[in-house]
Amino acid sequence: MSKLDRDTVINALVQTIPYVGSPIATLYFGHKDVRRFERLETFYSEIGLEIESFKEKLASIDNFDAAEFRAILEEMNTQIESEQALSKRELYKTYFKSTLVSPVKDNFDRRKLYLDILKTLTPLMIKIFNLLVKHKKPIKTSHVVLSGIEPALVFGSIKQLVIHGLFNSQLDSISFGSNGGQMDEIISVSEFGMQFHEFCIHGIHH
């Protein structure tokens, strides 16, 4: 079943929901394709304006593996179309500009992994990641405190960053209280995490 067919089926199913189905379908499906097109249009329009600032660093298209580059573009475009957060779309711009300077050739797995990680990052995970990059030293998870954010959300976000390989982690202590056990770990940005940050968040130097 094609993507268009799936959307048609889902649209029809939403329409059948009593009382609210029709307005929900109109609200979502009536504007979905337009929104997605506008995100890509904005993305590439902004790239076109910003490329002037680093045009001397652009790699020759001959240095790219054509098939790998097409696959990366297809995946990146799909993610941009679906991404609602402007802050995340800015990271895709950084990723793409870094790609234009450092070609996709014999490094497809790494570049695809970067995209897979970008897709899953939340604004909170990005905030914690940037904090640890700036901190530069190992820190206990219990010491990562963000105003207005539940400790459980912070800890869960840190665990996801560890799973992605962006953080190194080692057990520091385990304590037990009335609410059960609590584990404290010492975390730091991994070498892979620094490479990811340089390519996808910090970006090229103008």
Q: Residues 30-87: pLDDT tens digits?
A: 666 667 778 888 888 998 888 888 888 888 888 888 889 989 998 998 899 889 889 9
Query: Looking at residue 206, what is its pLDDT?
Result: 45
**What residue type is 66 in one-letter code?**
A
| 165 touches 184 (CB < 8 A) | no
Question: Which pLDDT score, from 0 to 100, does residue 166 have?
Answer: 98
pLDDT for the residue numbered 20: 60
Residue 194 region by backbone torsions, left for phi larger than 0, else alpha for psi between -120 and 50, else beta:
alpha
